[in-house]
Structure 1
Amino acid sequence: MNAVSDIANITGAVDEARLGTLVGDLAAFGARPDGGVDRQALTPEDFKSRRFLVDLARSYGAQAYRDSIGNLFFRRPGQDADAAPVVTGSHADSQPTGGRLDGAYGVCAGLEVLAALADSGVAHRRPIEVAVWTNEEGCRFAPGSMGASAFTEPSLLDGFLATADTTGRTVGEELAEADPLFADVPLRPLGTPVHAFVETHIEQGPVMADAGVTIGVVRGIQGTRWYEITVDGIAAHAGSTPRANRQDALRAATEIATGVYAAFDAGDERLRMTIGRLTVGPGSVNVVPEQVRMTVDVRHPEEAVLDAVEERLRELTAAHAGRARLERTMAMPPTGFDGRIRDTVREAARDLKLSAMEIDSGAFHDSLHLARHCPTGMIFVPSVDGLSHNPAEHTALSDLAAGTRVLAASLIRLAQN
């Protein structure tokens, strides 16, 4: 095997037009009139798309497998049949008003690598697999990233199978009903060994597009904490209660919110803070508010910064002692990606003469869970205007192909180790 010529052969075999056709073909499942996609997890359209992907992967010479949470795996055997595989992929489910690329691009890029391997005949020591993870979005069944979570932590399976949507249908019922459609796809256990996992994805933000950069070498997924702030007051008549006699919950909440935004503005460029929901009670036009609840979403790639922001939130609520309280409702620690994989992606971009930058992921991905199971990394391509979870989501086909070539080069390097 000649590593340099193998990489040149596989990247040269990536077919931009074929990739674009696949993106369009997959988007036809659950297509919306506005050009977007509504392909929520474990719906008929989701299962039809999965059947299409199984048949396509087999046409490229791959073996298809599935597991008990519905994840799909398309395996191209390596020269060492017993070696742990190098895996890529993402998810195929979408938001109700989703675009054509979120998740789907990572699946399409992986399948294009399988096609390019079939065309080029490049050999590799380790097997290479494409994974299609179940229910990443979490909009129909909560939580999101259900497939990747169960794969890396099989003890979660029974709880996930019992999870119901708003109509009462459970994950287990949907998988059982669709089972005949995949009777020819053998089951394999959750948690199988993985040598490395690399996920390609659109950035879902404007940073790379604004910088004019083609490839994002993702350092990791920033930590996230959610809070609920509750402020109490006393309901009173809007017309007959003087200023000095009011205990207006909204006025106090507004002062706290102003402090939240000031902390955001004073933070570094990687800090994200959002007040996403504000509920005012009793919600009458002529009653002084007696209670306000608001949520705060805080994100940063460093735990120490998250701690400092939380302390500031506590100070803001303490300034209204007896009337305001802070509750942390969710905490997801920062997840750093493997340095060797980041170096591999960076070198691939350099060899292909593509501009690259290091970037943090502001959104959750299946890679967050795979990073607990094996060395993991991500490749980003730019999103036009930073749009995602939106029918107008778009990335130039040339950028999608560039990311796929970097993925192909990275997978071959990792599969030869």
Structure 2
Amino acid sequence: MSRHHADAMPHVNTDRLWQWHMRMARFGVTGRGGVNRPALSTDDIELHKQIALWARERKFDVEIDDYGNQFMRRPGTDENCKPLVSGSHSDSQPTGGRFDGISGVLAALEAVEVMEEAKIRTRHPLEIVIWNNEEGVRFRPTQMGSAVYAGHARLGPLQAAVDPQGVSLETEVGRLRRAVDFASERSLGKPFAGYLELHIEQGPILEEEQIDIGIVTSIQGTRKFEVQILGEAAHAGTTPSRNRRDALVDAVNVVKALQILFYDPLDLVRFTIGQFEVKPGALAVVPDNVFFTIDFRHHEDAVLKSLGDQVKAVCEDAAKRCNVGVTETRN
């Protein structure tokens, strides 16, 4: 491509894109400048509505499927072609950042906006998608919207999912439909011609190497476990160490053993204990119950299987005086 042609190409309006980010960051804003935007919360639904209104102003079709995934479609010159799709998610972790997920949605929006301004027509329809409940904070499991759409999860049980307050996913999808009442129904699994997603790195590597953007070459696979260690509660002042079945002491030994199992000199294994609960949680009582979670990730199936299959035995061997239960979970 000549320099003349490169200069003549339309460019993203970075100021406009930044303003979109700042507008969307108001939905679920926290005191520290991040966001707390659970899937299909009032803030999340309002965000969906604002982007849907943008699409309607440009006479794009807006569609919502039974799972709450929202699509905005710019027609192509050949409507028999499958759409090219780009987007991401809008829900966040409780202490989420302003750019996680939503940047992928807004990048796609800005790209389409530039093409609209330049009157660039594409043969394929272009679709912007907001996947529902990617984080899995409010409804379990994670990545539900995209998993259902891709055929990796059955719709029925997931529609029956409820949040910690007992509100059903199905109820909240209905609330989204009422807020975006001009959206049409969309069938699940409608095929794509291609899919592209921009996402923040969520890690330090590109920044450390002063690289602006990277191309994903593999996706981390995940195995997750719940571990429960049961001992015996006892008085802290009168029970000798030799008579104690201290669940916390055994839990510490188990965690140390897991750190050895998951040690990787190449630093490619990701091992995290994200939840850790000790009961009864009294100052003068020997703990009798410890619960914790394991999140283990790697990009190679063989490593996931090899290390993940050892978790149960390692936990049982490391606990000296207490009973250990290990359960692998979907999430």
Report the TM-score range of the alignment, normalised by the length of the smaller protein. 0.7 to 0.9
Match of 1:230 among 224, 228, 231: 228
**2:258–2:314 contact (8 Å) kept in structure 1:** no
Q: How far apart are residue 246 of structure 1 and its match?
A: 3.5
**3-state DSSP of counterpart to 2:113:** helix
Paired AA for residue 72 in structure 1? Q
Q: How far apart are residue 16 of structure 1 and its match?
A: 0.9
Match of 1:48 among 38, 46, 49: 46
**2:253–2:318 contact (8 Å) kept in structure 1:** no
For residues 246 and 182 of structure 2, the distance between their equivalents in structure 1, rounded to whole angstroms, comes to 64
Paired AA for residue 193 in structure 2? H
Q: How far apart are residue 38 of structure 1 and its match?
A: 3.2
For residues 228 and 68 of structure 1, the distance between their equivalents in structure 2, rounded to whole angstroms, comes to 31
Q: How far apart are residue 115 of structure 1 and its match?
A: 0.7
CA shift in 2, pair 1:308/1:192, >3 Å: same
Look up the match of 1:90: 88
Paired AA for residue 142 in structure 1? R
Look up the match of 1:14: 12
Match of 2:116 among 86, 95, 118: 118
Q: How far apart are residue 47 of structure 1 and its match?
A: 2.2
CA displacement 1:362-414 (0-9 Å, x = unmatched): xxxxxxxxxxxxxxxxxxxxxxxxxxxxxxxxxxxxxxxxxxxxxxxxxxxxx
**1:141–1:171 contact (8 Å) kept in structure 2:** yes
Paired AA for residue 183 in structure 2? V
Structure 2's unaligned 5+ residue stretches are: none
For residues 28 and 229 of structure 2, the distance between their equivalents in structure 1, rounded to whole angstroms, comes to 43
Q: How far apart are residue 300 of structure 1 and its match?
A: 0.9
Indicate the larger mover: 318-327 or 137-146: 318-327
Look up the match of 1:140: 138
More helix by percentage? 1
**3-state DSSP of counterpart to 2:208:** helix
Indicate the larger mover: 171-180 or 13-22: 171-180
**1:38–1:96 contact (8 Å) kept in structure 2:** yes
TM-score by length of 1: 0.70
Structure 1's unaligned 5+ residue stretches are: 333-417
CA displacement 1:197-254 (0-9 Å, x = unmatched): 1111111111211121111211232111122333344444433333434443333322
For residues 7 and 221 of structure 2, the distance between their equivalents in structure 1, rounded to whole angstroms, comes to 39
Q: How far apart are residue 331 of structure 1 and its match?
A: 5.5
Aligned identity (percent) is 36
**3-state DSSP of counterpart to 2:268:** coil
Look up the match of 1:81: 79
Indicate the larger mover: 257-266 or 49-58: 257-266
**1:232–1:249 contact (8 Å) kept in structure 2:** yes
**2:251–2:319 contact (8 Å) kept in structure 1:** no
For residues 102 and 11 of structure 1, the distance between their equivalents in structure 2, rounded to whole angstroms, comes to 29
CA shift in 2, pair 1:155/1:325, >3 Å: closer
**3-state DSSP of counterpart to 1:132:** strand
**1:318–1:325 contact (8 Å) kept in structure 2:** no
For residues 31 and 84 of structure 1, the distance between their equivalents in structure 2, rounded to whole angstroms, comes to 37
Paired AA for residue 77 in structure 1? P
CA displacement 1:101-137 (0-9 Å, x = unmatched): 1111011000001011112233332222111112222
Paired AA for residue 54 in structure 1? A
**1:154–1:191 contact (8 Å) kept in structure 2:** no
Look up the match of 1:400: none
Q: How far apart are residue 30 of structure 1 and its match?
A: 3.2
CA shift in 2, pair 1:11/1:168, >3 Å: farther
CA shift in 2, pair 1:304/1:331, >3 Å: farther
Mapping of 1:50-65 within 5 angstroms?
Answer: 50-60=48-58, 62-65=60-63
Q: How far apart are residue 55 of structure 1 and its match?
A: 2.0
Compute the RMSD of aligned alpha carbons: 2.9
Indicate the larger mover: 309-318 or 103-112: 309-318
Mapping of 1:87-236 within 5 angstroms?
Answer: 87-153=85-151, 156-236=154-234
Paired AA for residue 137 in structure 1? E
For residues 78 and 292 of structure 1, the distance between their equivalents in structure 2, rounded to whole angstroms, comes to 57
CA shift in 2, pair 1:227/1:59, >3 Å: same
For residues 45 and 277 of structure 1, the distance between their equivalents in structure 2, rounded to whole angstroms, comes to 27
**2:254–2:314 contact (8 Å) kept in structure 1:** no
**1:110–1:130 contact (8 Å) kept in structure 2:** yes
Match of 1:254 among 229, 236, 252: 252
CA shift in 2, pair 1:10/1:312, >3 Å: farther
Look up the match of 1:402: none
**1:280–1:289 contact (8 Å) kept in structure 2:** yes
Look up the match of 1:242: 240
Count of aligned pairs: 329
Look up the match of 1:393: none
CA shift in 2, pair 1:293/1:132, >3 Å: closer
For residues 326 and 252 of structure 2, the distance between their equivalents in structure 1, rounded to whole angstroms, comes to 18
CA shift in 2, pair 1:139/1:276, >3 Å: closer
TM-score by length of 2: 0.87
For residues 114 and 265 of structure 2, the distance between their equivalents in structure 1, rounded to whole angstroms, comes to 45
CA shift in 2, pair 1:236/1:28, >3 Å: closer
CA shift in 2, pair 1:293/1:71, >3 Å: closer
Q: How far apart are residue 50 of structure 1 and its match?
A: 1.7
Paired AA for residue 317 in structure 1? E
Following TM superposition, the consecutive aligned residue runs of length 4 or more in structure 1 with deviations greater than 6 angstroms are none
Q: How far apart are residue 194 of structure 1 and its match?
A: 0.7
Q: How far apart are residue 20 of structure 1 and its match?
A: 0.9
Asked which structure has the greater RCO (Cα within 8 Å, sep 6+), the reply is 1
Look up the match of 1:317: 316
